Amino acid sequence: MQELVLNQPVSAARSELVREAQADARREFEERLAECGPLAFRVARGVLRNTADAEDVAQEALLRAYKSFDRLRDRNRFRAWLVRISFRLALDRLRSAKRREQRDTLWAKPAHQPAPITAEDVAASNQFQAHLDRALEELPEKLRLVLLLSAMDGYTIEEIASMMGVPLGTVKSRIFIARKKLAEKLRCHANTIKMR
Amino acid sequence: MPCEHYKDALMELAASGAAPQGQLAVHIAECASCREAFNIEQSLFADIDSRLQVAANAEVPASLLPRVRVALSQVPAPRFNWVRPVVLVSASLVLAFAILLIGRPRRTSPESVARQGSFGPATTTPTTTTNPEKSPLEGVQVAAHAAHSHAARNSTNLHVAASSNPEVLVPPDEREAFARLVAVLNERSDVAAALVAKAPQKDAVVTADPLRIPGIEIKPLEGTETESSDGAGDKR
């Protein structure tokens, strides 16, 4: 009886501490959410090129980050961590969407035909965009993520380097190599430099 | 089409986004085809960059953050994980205990001490007997040194054995030999007196003066010439 009387305040104090810690974690996460939510969305959008899918992926990435927030020792690495989660989730979704698309193409008749092309320029532009998307997909993941982040407004190369945890020179060389690879794949479609 | 010599340099320059410099700048100014190719290459990169920027800076839907907040409210707050620290602390305690056990000096049983003590003299015996060419003094010195080092090695064991008064185990053949010795000592009092007499200190190094041999005069044997000349001595 005496034990029960003594134990009750201890457990109440402990649960109070846990509640406070949880509230602190929630508050800290929500502060970061406003800053990092758009970043997660843009990374996903850069991979998926679809707003609805990117929104889903960003939400999932943020929820995962929240669930594992206590495991992150260095909170300053939160942005880099979230970027990686979003990027990986977006890649996973893209791959599964491709598999689904292949299955549908194989086993079902196309439900609708693509919209008729009205102008030659639009068609060429769309075609070029399709080639660019394919070339981006073929880039190695490291190059692709750095190129994506460098294309986003508001992030300098120094910030990208600290976000990725790599030296500044590495970021620069990755951007250079990625652009060069893209140009090599798109040159024939753009009908530019040819051998003499 | 650009000149073959400058083709790669033009591509590199366009990819880096820098302005042409030096010899390349002079060539671009002179060569119309290279200038045109460089412009096309630049426009290609500009097209790629602009498309990438459009894709990367897509407008964030206004519904994103409210959606995430609603989803967060449905998820239980992340709780502090107690398991990992508890496992770490207990593992380090076990490790410390194991190190303590390993580092502690070992205690040996009195039986093993007695057994080790009985083997002591046996190690010195072969040293003196198997090497007949060496002088006996040298053997004594080695035996004394061995006994000393053995005692130093087992100093803790001896201390333990003395403090607990162990039972000394003697092999049957040694017991028999000891009984014979006692019988001999009873019969011959001079041997007993010699045994009881104070022995020289074992730890002291016994030194002996170098052996001095007086000059030896070698005389020729009588009749060796006659024996050696005909070879009869060898045959005999």
Residue type, A166: V
Q: How far, CA to CA in Å, does B154 sit from each of A7, A62, B151?
A: 56, 69, 5
Subunit contact A42:B3, Cβ cutoff 8 A: no
Once rounded to an integer, what is the mean pLDDT over residues B135-157?
45
pLDDT for B134 beyond 60: no
Subunit contact B14:A183, Cβ cutoff 8 A: yes
Instruction: Dihedral sign for Cα A104, A110, A111, A117, please.
Output: positive
- Rounded to whole angstroms, the Cα distance separating B44 from A191 reads 10
Residue type, B80: F
Q: How many residues does chain B have?
A: 236
Which residue of A193, A194, A195, A196 is the best one to mutate when testing the B interface, meaning the one whose CB has the most B CBs within 10 A? A193
pLDDT for B155 beyond 60: no
**Which chain A residue lies closest to B51 (C-alpha atoms)?**
A129
pLDDT at B122: 43
- Rounded to whole angstroms, the Cα distance separating B92 from B234 reads 87
Q: In this structure, what are the phi and psi dihedrals at residue B214, rounded to the nearest 5 degrees?
A: -65, 155
Minimum distance, in Å, between the CA of residue B73 and any CA atom of chain A: 9
Residue B74 forms contact with A (CB below 8 Å): no
pLDDT at B77: 62
pLDDT at A80: 87
Q: Which residues contact A49 (CB under 8 A, 6 or more apart)?
A: A133, B55
Once rounded to an integer, what is the mean pLDDT over residues B27-53?
88
More confident residue, B219 or A167: A167
Q: What share of chain B is helix, strand, coil (3-state, %, to 5)?
A: 70, 0, 30
Question: Do A85 and A61 touch, CB atoms closer than 8 A?
Answer: yes
Minimum distance, in Å, between the CA of residue B47 and any CA atom of chain A: 10
Once rounded to an integer, what is the mean pLDDT over residues B41-51?
89
- Rounded to whole angstroms, the Cα distance separating B52 from A153 reads 11
More confident residue, B147 or B51: B51
**Summary mean pLDDT of chain B:** 71
pLDDT at A167: 93
- Rounded to whole angstroms, the Cα distance separating A171 from A43 reads 17
ipTM of this predicted structure: 0.71
**Would you tell me which residues 92-121 of chain A have a C-beta closer than 8 angstroms to some C-beta of chain B?**
none
**B206-214 contacts: CB < 8 A, separation 24 or more?**
B206/B137, B206/B140, B206/B141, B208/B135, B208/B137
**Which chain A residue lies closest to B79 (C-alpha atoms)?**
A22
List the Cα angle B207/B211/B215 in 5-degree steps.
165
- Rounded to whole angstroms, the Cα distance separating A79 from A149 reads 12
Of the candidates B107, B110, B116, B104, the residue with the CA atom closest to the CA atom of residue B162: B110
- Rounded to whole angstroms, the Cα distance separating A194 from B2 reads 8
Once rounded to an integer, what is the mean pLDDT over residues B221-228?
59
Q: What is the 3-state secondary structure (H, E, C) of B8-57?
A: HHHHHHHHHCCCCCHHHHHHHHHCHHHHHHHHHHHHHHHHHHHHHHHHHC
Q: Which residues of B touch A42 (CB under 8 A)?
A: 56-58, 60
Tokens standing for residue B81: 């994980």
pLDDT at B226: 52
pLDDT class of B229 with cuts at 50, 70, 90: very low
- Rounded to whole angstroms, the Cα distance separating B94 from B86 reads 12
- Rounded to whole angstroms, the Cα distance separating A183 from A176 reads 11
pTM above 0.90, yes or no: no
- For residue B74, the 8-state DSSP code is H
pLDDT at A57: 93
Of the candidates B62, B57, B207, B147, the residue with the CA atom closest to the CA atom of residue A148: B57
Count of C-beta atoms within a 10 Å radius of residue B78: 19
pLDDT class of B81 with cuts at 50, 70, 90: low
Tokens standing for residue B102: 């390993």
Of the candidates B55, B16, B19, B45, the residue with the CA atom closest to the CA atom of residue A182: B45
pLDDT at B101: 86
Tokens standing for residue B213: 């041999």
pLDDT at A99: 75
- Rounded to whole angstroms, the Cα distance separating A80 from B148 reads 70
pLDDT at A31: 82
* Longest pairwise C-alpha distance within chain B: 135
Of the candidates B108, B144, B223, the residue with the CA atom closest to the CA atom of residue B232: B223
Low-confidence ranges of chain A (pLDDT < 50): 1, 109-114, 116, 192-196
Question: Do B96 and A88 touch, CB atoms closer than 8 A?
Answer: no
Q: How far, CA to CA in Å, does A196 sit from each of A114, B45, B131?
A: 39, 21, 97
Of the candidates B46, B45, B1, B6, the residue with the CA atom closest to the CA atom of residue B25: B6
User: Which of A83-92, A162-171, B77-86, B143-152 shows the lowest per-residue confidence on average (mean pLDDT)?
Assistant: B143-152
Question: Nearest by CB to A58, which of B47, B64, B77?
Answer: B64
